[in-house]
Amino acid sequence: MPQDAYQHPAIDSVTLPEVLHALSDPLRLSIVTALREGGARGWGEFDSPVAASTLSHHMKVLRQAGLILTRREGTRCQVALRPEIEARFPGLLATVIGLAGPAD
C-alpha cells in the first residue's frame, strides 16, 4: 500500500456504536462540528490544544469509525466529513452536535 493511501471502511460496515464512540470525545466532536460547518480542511487548520501525534490519533479514530475521509496532498493531509454518513444515519450528526451545545 502506498504511504499516502488511507483505509476507509465501507459505508455499509459502519456501525452506530462505532460512530457514537468516535463522537464521545470532545475534541473529535469539535472536529466533526468544524467539518460540518466549514467543509474540508487541512489538519493544520484545526485549532487543537493537543500535540500533532494526538490529533493524528483522533483523526484515525474518526476515519476508522467512518465519519471522515482523509487524503494526502503532497506533504499535507486534507480531511472532510464523509458525505454518505448522513444517508447511513439520517439526522444523527445534527442531533449529536445540537445536543452537545456550543464548544467551550
Q: Which domain holds residue 74?
A: 15-94
pLDDT at 4: 52
Residue 67 resides in a domain: yes
* Angle at which helices 52-64 and 26-38 cross, to 10°: 70
pLDDT 10s digits, 48-97: 889 888 999 999 999 999 999 998 888 788 999 999 999 999 999 999 99
Whole-angstrom distance, CA of residue 4 vs CA of residue 94: 31
pLDDT at 6: 83
What's the total number of domains in the chain? 1
CA angle, corner 75, sides to 74 and 76, nearest 5?
Answer: 95
Residue 26's CATH number: 1.10.10.10
pLDDT 10s digits, 22-33: 999 999 999 999
Residue 65 resides in a domain: yes
Edge-to-edge strands of the sheet including 76-81?
Answer: 41-42, 76-81, 68-73
Residue 28 resides in a domain: yes
**pTM score of the predicted model:** 0.87
Residue 87 resides in a domain: yes
